[in-house]
Amino acid sequence: MPSIETRAVLPADPDTVFAMLRKVEDFPQYTSAVETVTHLGDERYRWQVRVAGVQYQWVVEIVQSEAPQRLAWKSVTGISNTGRYHLSPVKEGTDLRLVIDYTLNSRILDHTVGKLAGPVVRRISAEVLSRVRERLAK
């Protein structure tokens, strides 16, 4: 399963950062790639994303929510993926590490599509972290 990691130091304490990340429906404000995030009840959310003109949808379930250190999810439909945020206090605020694992259920697809998906997911993750940083700096 390919894995993509992004890391940033954000100018706020872990409680504040965690609270922002926990508002899953707000993610369309952090990147143009995410069109909508719809809360389906309990801990499930439908994501609608557009990348390179192609729309993707999947449903995720939050499987771990330990404020303010860790938030994790897994997909229940669509592209098979899991992800987790790790938050640690640092002098400057919060060290945030995002790890996303995904599989396309084919070693060949994982390898070939992964060459394209990795940079796209990294770009979107960087955009999200940049916009979160901007919002926290206000």
Q: Which residue has the higher pLDDT, 115 or 93?
A: 93
Q: What is the pTM of this model?
A: 0.85
Q: Please determine, for residue 117, whether its predicted confidence score (pLDDT) is greater than 70.
A: no
Q: Which residue has the higher pLDDT, 44 or 6?
A: 44
Q: What mean pLDDT do residues 31-44 have?
A: 95
Q: Please determine, for residue 45, whether its predicted confidence score (pLDDT) is greater than 80.
A: yes
pLDDT of residue 1: 57
Ordered structural domains, the chain, with CATH: 3-22+61-137 (3.30.530.20)
pLDDT of residue 83: 94
Q: Which residues contact 42 (CB under 8 A, 6 or more apart)?
A: 61
Q: Please determine, for residue 102, whether its predicted confidence score (pLDDT) is greater than 80.
A: no
Q: Please determine, for residue 51, whether its predicted confidence score (pLDDT) is greater than 70.
A: yes
Interval 63-101: pLDDT, tens:
999 999 999 999 999 878 899 999 999 999 999 999 988
With cut-offs at 50, 70 and 90, classify the pLDDT of residue 107. low
